A and B are shown apart, each in its own frame.
Chain A
Amino acid sequence: MRVGSYKLATSLIVLGLVAGACSETKKSDTTAGSTKSSEAPSTTASTPGTAGESTTTVSSAGDELNKWALDYTGGTAGAASGSSVKVGYVNQEDFFPENTIGINAARDYINKELGGVAGKPIEIVPCNIAAAEDGAKCGTQFANDATISVVVTGTILVGNKELYDALNGKKPVIVGNGVTSDDFTTPAGQAFTAGSPGVVTGMGGYIVSGLSPKPKSVAILAQNNAAGKAAADFLFKPVMDKAGIAYTFVGIDDTASAADVQAALSSVGADKADVLVPIITIQQCINVYDAMKALAITPTVVTTGLCFGTPMTDHLKAAGEPGPVPSGWYFGGYGYSYFQPDLASGMKTYIAKVQQYGKPAPNSKTLEYTGFAGPEFSNLMTFAKFVNASKGAVDFATLDGAIRGFKGPMMLQVGPLDCGKQVILGLPIFVTVCASQMGIQLFKDGKWTSVADGLNGKPIDVTKI
């Protein structure tokens, strides 16, 4: 009897937990004794142009912004109606929830104000990657679903190859924010952004020919995973070799602690190097910032846009520093800036609309839009452009042709596109990458400055490095 009771209790606990899972999934987090964190979270967002220090209530977008968006997408003002056009969306939610903020905000904006796609509303069909096995699962799910018109990926660290293999030749694919090697080398789709092949190589190009005086030594700190090491070894070091600039390199684990990073910085000779290049995630960027302060070293830092976002802003705030990112750092990106929004690239429209339609990620009170949310927003806008241009045709041949033939301009990405033909540093392997230009911005003394980007008309063309 006793054993039976235990088994019954155990079974009930497991069943209840499973049911609890459904319950938690269905609804957002609930807070006992307070309504502050879960019920209608008050959306706060960094205000462009003011270094993200103050918060603002979002106002309705101006006609100017909508006009830009309508021109870009080729849509008609107003709300969409009728049967929906389904877009498969694959993302690793635990790691990169901001992608989802971007694509959902774009969907709502397109459906409510830009007339949808050829008048029809867009429906996002999500598929989350929680483990490597999910790559094949999401890929087959969408490849076999005739109602899915296109697949847009978010940011995925595992299962990428299986995902693309399943989709190759079955569905048009827009690769969102590529970070792994497969994202840049798959023939399954195209990425309208420069990705790490463009950004990391461009950072090297800027250090060689943009910094004055020309540095004599560079210290490189890269993530010790396949993508991080490949970026450092095959995209950055060759640029330094070609320019004859001496460099030192260390890799750090994904699980490296702040003390590890401090030791690594000291070991790589960051105190003596003219330039420090961290090619790392935001967790390690925070550690690099702390380590530089602790070691009291001030090399010129040239890094990627991975180093800005809410965790960095929160961390700097806790450390009593003003600004969303460390002062004096250079940031490589796609050529435009969240912090200096302009109309022509679509940045102003994006900022206004993501704040209007975006919802904070689960368990977060802050609307994170300065990371991968932007490119994801622009990818869906670009999809809308294709469907509007094809008068609503969403068959594979039409959309795949439109994606592969897209020459730009691409919202939030500088320069023309030439899909499948980019040869970077003599490597013809990046067949997915369409963009070849990138930009560098400097944050100093509370101000963002365009150093070499689309805003000052001096973006860096990585095919010429």
Chain B
Amino acid sequence: MKGSLTKYLQWFFGVGSLVLLLWALVDSNTRAKFLTGPGLTNGALIAAIALGVVITYRGSGVVNFANSAIAMYVAYVYAVLRKDGDLFLPPIPNPLALIEGVVHKLSPSSTLDLPDIPTRISFGPNMQFWPALLISACVAVLLGLVLHFLIFRPLRAAPPLAKVVASIGLFLYLPAVIVRRFGIQPFTVEALPMFKPAKRINLPLGISMNSDELALTIVVIVLTVLLYAVFQLTRFGLATRAASENEKGAVVLGFSPDFLAGANWVISTLLTGLLGIFAATVLRTIDPSVLPAFIIPALTAALVGSFTSFGWTTFAAMVLGMQFGLVKYLEAQHHWYPKSGNGPFPGMERMLPLIIIVLVLFLRGKSLPTRGSISSGRLPFSPTPPRWAIRYGGPALALTAAICGLFIFGPTFRLALANSLIGIIICLSVVVITGYVGQISLAQMAFAGISAFLVAKMTTEHNVPFPIPILIGAVVAMLVGVLVALPALRVRGVNLAIVTLAFAVAIDKSVFGNSSVNGGFKGAAVKVPKLIAQPRDVQYNILGFIAGDGKQPNPMTAMFCLVVVVILCYAVANLRRSATGRRLLATRSNERAAAAAGVNVSGMKILAFAVSAFIAGVGGAVSAYRFGSVTPDKFSYVQSLTFFAFAYLGGIASVFGSISGGFLVAGGLVFTVLSEKFGVPSEYTLILGGLGLIIASVRNPEGIAGAVRHLGLSLRRRRAAPDDSAGDAPGNPHVGQHDSAPTISDVQEVGAPS
């Protein structure tokens, strides 16, 4: 019965999509807005990014979320070479600055001035086309080698989570470097010499394009055919295909999966970089946000192509590129188009990738790509919180935070404490969904935002008293989380990451960008109880002790956040210790084994999504009360990625990890110390966060919490058994894993039958 219903639904969606596509093509008005030059150009731009994603996946099994950022980075290299003749460098560690900093700290009057590492290498005035292209291509190749050897090769045996995390780290890091070097303003890029002056070319069906736009489209299509041929007909392509199907089999046949992965990384970054340059010259300007944003439709297209088919990927990219014009036409010209306030419903063009993804997953869920890897990797270990931590550690930590927030911290650190506490809540939500169940959700801030905007409405329009809106907001977020969980029943790993990311983008643009939700000029204010209102210069007499310094922020704001954090930390820790927690971990470790052991795998996934979204919803509501207003920027999809990054960095599988992650968030305690005590500007948050994420994913997947746990275990062993065997030596990377690690092997997609 259940199976036949699914079949009917699949038919319904399949036929419905076909009818819609036919309507778009048959009706002359809609066709004229669908088959357009800009649409094809857009499609070619998406395809350019998507093809790189497919090559990387086929070669190395990595779904590269940073591919568009790589395109942008190489395009900047080219553009700056052409304009200034300079090769810019990313921030490079300068050990001399440490010495200089210490000397200046000890002796403020010191004039010690040690050399800085240059930020650019100059080749003279503006560079000609070919040398600039050659240097840019070298940078792209170098980038490919660095990515392979330093990041993704060490992660070859790691679970998909680690690879996703590393590529998200890159996605955050590369644009942050560009912002650091060039700011956010658009950078002019001249058209390629062969396309100057620009010519307009008229094609059949009323399509009109500039010559370089047409050339880009042709290049992408030719490249698609070439890649198909290379991967179908050449020995290298066959070997790559063999390795992507089964690495063990490829090894037996005499191919080196490692070499193939490296070669494919270089091919991918080179092609992506060159296409990025071409795209930038077609767009005529480049900035740190436009090209990276292409990753969402590019991943959608790659997903349609099952991360293997170049043809389907390019086709899907073209459709996604062309739909934009059609949606905008309907938005502008048709009265039946959904309205919101005094204008059309925003962001519908961003909804389409989500709809396509959900359709693809629904129709083809079981045949989505999985990849055989040469060896299995573990997800970060999720320790059971020990009794001493529950009984003494937690209360001690909470008490310390309370004492600091009430009596010790000044205004700046009180604010940082509140930021960290809200960060902890969001990181906790990531721990439940990703740490406990192994499902990668990149939409946590979308859940938080839904709750936050609801709190604003409830408090201002319906006068719902505190703290009821927090619960209502969290419950609504939970319900939305359950809806998002439905695709998770059919997919996992990177595919789920893509679904949730597309969901976050769609919610960001369609819901949070909607003036009915964000309040337009009036904004979305929140009625905050006076006791916890942040901008108040107050002091409190607590048992004879004076809390606060009479300056804002109100110390009770942080205490309110702390109370919520303590409740949630205990709830999540107890969840981990409970039978449900063990079932969640069993689901994470091996779904089939868990099901065989009587665990309701689907139920566990839905439960995890529900609990995680509920916690994120509480986080959003607390943020709304804390700030006294809700704005879309706090809940954008980039924020979801950033919080995911810090949650991973802190330690994604434990409550202590989320506490560490909360300390690291933007405006949190760690960056405030760096900023206030060491003068590190706050724009370094994303550079250090992205870099930290990459390093953590490669060297220390258990994050800060894991490192602390290993240190504790190591010290305990040394004290308990000084003559212990070499197997427990501190240098042994397996130390600390065998003692309490799950007995069932961790989640794998190895050889999963289609």
Contacts and interface: CB of A to CB of B under 8 A. Distances in A.
Interface of B: 33, 36-39, 41-42, 45, 84, 86, 91-98, 100-101, 116-124, 179, 181-188, 190, 197-198, 200, 208, 210, 213, 282-285, 287, 289-290, 293-294, 321, 324-326, 328-329, 331-333, 341-344, 346-347, 350, 411-412, 415, 419, 509, 513, 515, 518-523, 534-535, 537, 551-553, 627-629, 631-634, 666-667, 674, 678-685, 687-688, 691-692, 695, 699, 730-731, 733
Contact of B122 (A22, A31, A232, A314): A31
A388 to B, nearest CB: 30
B552 A144 contact: yes
Given A249-B332, A318-B188, A140 B289 contact: no
A70 interface: no
Interface stretch (A10-18, A81-89, A325-333, A396-404): A10-18
A29 B121 contact: no
A58 interface: no
Contact of B119 (A30, A128, A283): A30
Given A185-B523, A315-B285, A320-B197, A226 B324 contact: no
Interface of A: 1-4, 6-7, 10, 12-27, 29-34, 36-38, 93-95, 97, 128, 130-134, 136-137, 139-141, 143-144, 157-158, 161-162, 165-166, 168, 170, 181-182, 184-185, 219, 224-226, 229-230, 232-234, 237, 248-251, 253-260, 262-264, 266-269, 282-283, 286-287, 290-291, 293-296, 310-311, 314-315, 318-320, 361-364, 427, 429
30 contacts: A2-B731, A14-B691, A14-B692, A16-B95, A20-B91, A23-B117, A29-B120, A93-B183, A94-B183, A94-B683, A95-B185, A131-B666, A158-B634, A162-B534, A181-B520, A181-B523, A229-B515, A233-B341, A233-B515, A237-B342, A250-B344, A257-B42, A259-B38, A259-B39, A263-B36, A264-B328, A267-B326, A267-B329, A286-B186, A315-B284
Nearest to B423: A133
A140 B412 contact: yes
A33 B521 contact: no
Nearest to A137: B415
A13 B687 CA distance: 13
B274 to A, nearest CB: 18
B98 A262 contact: no
Contacts of A283: 185-186, 285, 287, 290
Contact of A226 (B123, B210, B294, B631): B631
A23 B113 CA distance: 10
Contacts of A257: 42, 45, 283, 290, 294
A20 B328 contact: no
Contacts of A362: 183
Sort A-B residue pairs by CB-CB distance and give the 9 closest, nearest first. Answer: A16-B93, A133-B667, A263-B325, A34-B122, A23-B97, A255-B293, A267-B328, A32-B118, A19-B97
Nearest to B321: A259
B634 A132 contact: yes
Contacts of A249: 331-332, 343-344
A169 to B, nearest CB: 9
Contacts, number: 346
Contacts of B522: 181, 185, 429
A343 B331 CA distance: 47
A386 B257 CA distance: 73
B674 A18 contact: yes
Given A37-B120, A249-B344, A269 B680 contact: no
A263 B122 contact: no
Contact of A130 (B96, B283, B326, B685): B685
B553 A33 contact: no
Contacts of A140: 411-412, 415, 535, 551-553
A128 B343 contact: no
Given A264-B328, A311-B285, A182 B523 contact: yes
Contacts of B629: 161-162, 165
Contacts of A139: 535
Contacts of B183: 93-95, 97, 361-364
B553 A224 contact: no
A23 B346 contact: no
